Amino acid sequence: QLQLQESGPGLVKPSETLSLTCTVSGGSVSSLSYFWGWIRQPPGKGLEWIGSVYSSGATYYSPSLKSRVTISVDTSKKEFSLKLSSVTAADTAVYYCARDNTNGWSTFYFDYWGQGTLVTVSS
Amino acid sequence: NVMLTQPHSVSESPGKTVTISCTRSSGNIANSFVQWYQQRPGSSPTPVIFENNQRPSGVPDRFSGSIDRSSNSASLTISELRTEDEADYYCQSYDGSDRVFGGGTKLTVL
């Protein structure tokens, strides 16, 4: 059974860079036709896609966050990472990592999710 | 940018049927598959429908999905409602390579 686990600091200061890692077990980040994505959810609000990465390193980012986001993958460590720069209080959210399944290159949907990690931006 | 609009909340009684809509702001709803996720309080989202009307393994057939080209919208229908279905539901689709979520609908089963 595929499992994903987020890790990283729970508190980040304004203007600094948020860094999270997602470790994948029970499967491979090198598997064909799967991306690996980050989604966030501010407290009491809805889901927002941040971006996704393929095993080759190819990335897609949300247009609204593109200027501040970097997502990378390390196939040898079976993990992928998120960096979000110049954070503000508006970036406070639960951050989820998830497998972004193309189902044979016909769609994009998130079929396995991590438990999520709360990141608070505060001084 | 494409937006997916959902009603903020819906409510229905146990045993009844409820439908949640998801309207695409631009572009043809039929050109990009729609997915639906259930999120219970304190839990991660889980998919209940993918590719408009496909159920992942383990999801009961009380959950069904459809699209309506005339209204450019997708719908999630849950029949024989149970109290355990009370949750937030999100639609998701894509615009090219950009994944997009709807704002979510809170389903109350009372």
All residues of chain A having their beta carbon less than 8 Å from the beta carbon of residue B56 are 111
Q: Which of A89, A97, A92, A99 is nearest to A116 (CA)?
A: A97
Q: Which amino acid is at A37?
A: G
Count each helix (H run) and each strand (E run) in chain A, helices first: 0, 11
Count of residues making up chain B: 110
Q: Are A48 and B92 in contact (CB < 8 Å)?
A: no
How far apart, in Å, are the Cα atoms of A65 and each of A15, A71, A84, B98? 15, 12, 8, 12
pLDDT by residue for chain A (123 residues), tens only, comes to: 999 999 999 999 999 999 999 999 999 999 888 999 999 999 999 999 999 999 999 999 999 999 999 999 998 989 999 999 999 999 999 999 999 999 888 889 999 999 999 999 999
Taking a contact as any Cβ pair under 8 Å apart, which residues of chain A between 52 and 81 contact chain B? 52, 60, 62-64
Instruction: Spell out which residues of chain A touch residue B91, defining contact as CB-CB under 8 Å.
Output: none
Pair of tokens at residue B100: 């997009």
Q: Nearest by CB to A47, from B45, B46, B50: name it.
A: B45
Among B50, B97, B102, select the one facing A103 at the smallest CB separation.
B50
* Interchain contact, B33 vs A96, CB within 8 Å: no
Q: First and final CA of chain B: distance in angstroms?
A: 36
Q: Measure the CA angle with vertex B32, ends A66 and B5; round to 5°.
A: 70
As a whole number of angstroms, the distance between CA A62 and CA B92 comes to 14
A106 interfacial to chain B (CB closer than 8 Å): yes
Report the DSSP beta bridge partners of residue B29: none
